Structure formats: C-alpha cells, structure tokens
Homo-oligomer: A and B are copies of this chain.
C-alpha cells in the first residue's frame, strides 16, 4: 500500500514510517522539520542523539533496502501539498503533522494562535487535497484522548448513543479539551467528520493516549535510526520524563497530587495501531473513531512504577509533588473504552518493568546530554 506519513520526522511519525516500510508498504514522509526548530526555540534537545531526516532515511534504505520518499514542506502551503499528493498518489494518509504539545500551545497568545492555525489549516489542506487528487484514499488522523477531558461518565470511542425526552440518536461524543492544543484536535475532528459526510471521504480518527517508551525494533537497530526522546517540560510526557529525571538523580516532577488519570500506550503499539487502521479503511463517507491506548494510569502510579524499577538498578529515585501549572482536576472519575483496536487484532505491550528498565538504561547511557533546567514545566495555564 502507498502510505504517506505526514509528520514522518517526529516522535510518532518516524517509527511509524520505518515500521510500515519494514512491513512492505511503499512509504513517503512529508515533514517541514519544524519539531527540530522548536527544540532550538526552547533550547531543548532529544535525550538520544537523532540524525537529520535525510541521513536517517538513507541509513534506513541502506539497512532495509527500502527507500523512503521525502517531501520537505509545510501543510499550510497548499501548492506544496497538491504537488506531493499528485506525485505520490497515496492510498492511505497518516496525519501526525501537528503541533502536539499542550504546554507549547499555552505559552502565550501567539503560540495558541499558531497551534490552532497550523493544525486546523494543515488538516483542512489535507482534506481538500484528498478530495481533489485521491478521493478514495483513507485518512488516518491522530487525535488525542485529551479531546474528551475528564467527564463524569464513561468515555466511548468517538460517538455516544443519547436518549433524551423519549427520543434517541447517535451523536459525536461531547468534547471538553484542556488546552489550546487539545482544542485544535477537537476542531479537526469536527472538520473531518463534515468532510466525510459531504464529500464521501474515508477517515479514521485515532484518539491516542499519552505515548511512552521511545524506540521500536526498527528505530533501535542502529544509532542513526534512533527516535527522539523528549524529556523537557514542554514536549516531554509523564513516564519518559520520569525516567530521564531519575537517570540523573533529579526528583520526578509529579504535578499536584498526581491523581490525574489518563490512557497510556507504548510506542510499539502506536505503530501497530496505525497499521491496523490502514488495513481496515473506513467506508466512503465514514469517520471511524478509535481510542488508541492500552492501559489507564494515574501520574503518581507511573512515578511509583519508575521508582520501583530504578531502586532495583541501584538508582536513588525520589518523587516530588510540584505545583500543578495546569488547570485540571487532580482527582476524578475516568473510565475510557478502548476495545475497537483490540478487536481488530492489537496485542498490547502492557507496561512492564522491563520496558521501564530499558528506558532508564537508555537515559543513563545518554545522561550527559540532559539539560536539567528543562525538566520543570514552567508554562502556566492561568
């Protein structure tokens, strides 16, 4: 299958590109490399060294014998998008190419506006390009579990049957996102559902949980293929950041009481979920929605898991409850459904001590690259 990976240079996009290439698909990457620019803006870096896109793509071709076609440009530039679609003629389009950090979107007005315009216009341009050039292709769009917020009822997969005043309908699940970034994904979901409905496009919206772990079999096969390992307060996420902190004896930064419960997924399952979605395209006019995570954890539970494994490795992990920079509930009901991908064949990598051990080992190996002042989450919501 010809699969175009939008954002294929990023944390989820790169391992997905290699995994699908390894599985025999014809893979192209479209990326504007802006994730690397945000590192420069924030003075941040990946804990692991990462090669330039052309270098890592060459390394992959040398290793696997499988080329990756590369399109460098911005989804907001429709001429560029048009040319890429006409050139590659994708059968599936995997869309990771959005600004994906909640704190980044909350830095100030211009970052909020940038995030929403970048994400919404990028996705609109993809929809229009699909309509124009590849109307039968399948859009696989990354959303986030954060679109749902933390309602007091069970979270379903995208749609909810509602009975009200004696009548029934199946409606889009009501969304209560918690940042300008999460809001941008809600905007996308509404736009995509509409495009499917009026133009007959096919789409699958994947509401992904927080991704942990870093490498897949493919990206781990040599250093030139390594995936990025974000540990900073803006792009780093719970479990991975805890491992980086522990590697240099910095206390794990749990926001508030740490009762915030979320869905989590191993990056090795992310790449497999994308494959499953691609193998099961939506019908014409349909927007499927899957909740893409495998387990629920509270932030404090994750810190305790890391603490336990780190102690066995002779490290001295501490947990520090720091002031929560976000406006969010720290103790709440949370029960989110996630059976659809399992039903389609996902065999989850549940969080093991071995996985945490591997992350801690990698963090210790590259500990000299860690800039400690990047750990604190300094962007405040209010």
Interface residues of A (CB under 8 A from B): 78, 109, 112-113, 116-117, 120-121, 124-125, 128, 151-154, 156, 160, 162-165, 167-169, 171-180, 183, 186-187, 190-191, 193-194, 197-200, 327, 333, 381-382
In the complex formed, the residue of B with least CB distance to A149 is: B171
Complex: how many Å from CA A156 to CA B333?
Answer: 25
A117 to B117 CA separation, bound complex (whole angstroms): 6
Additional pairs, 6, CB under 8 Å, beyond known A109-B128, A154-B167, A187-B187: A109-B124, A109-B125, A153-B163, A162-B162, A183-B191, A186-B190
- Please report the C-alpha to C-alpha distance between residue A164 and residue B177 in the assembled complex, in whole angstroms: 20
Contacts A109-B128, A327-B198 given; indicate if A171 touches B174 (C-beta within 8 A): yes
Which residue of the partner chain B has the closest CB to A382? B198
A-B contact pairs, 6 of them (CB 8 A): A112-B124, A116-B121, A153-B169, A154-B164, A172-B176, A183-B191
**How many chain copies does the complex carry?**
2
Contact of A153 among B120, B128, B164 (CB under 8 A): B164
Give A154's nearest chain B residue, CB to CB: B165
Given contacts A124-B116, A194-B177, A381-B198, contact A162 B167 (CB under 8 A): no
A163 vs B154: C-alpha distance in the bound complex, in angstroms? Answer: 10
Residue ID in chain B nearest A195 by CB atoms: B180
Contact B164–A160 (Cβ < 8 Å): yes
Cβ of B177 and Cβ of A174 under 8 Å apart? Answer: no
Residues on B with C-beta less than 8 A from A198 are 327, 381-382
Are the C-beta atoms of B128 and A151 separated by less than 8 Å?
no
Q: Which chain B residue shows the least CB distance to A328?
A: B198
B residues near A117, Cβ cutoff 8 Å: 117, 120-121
Complex contact A151–B124 (CB within 8 A): no
Report, nearest first, the 9 A-B pairs whose CB atoms are least far apart: A171-B174, A152-B169, A109-B128, A198-B327, A153-B164, A187-B187, A153-B167, A153-B169, A172-B174
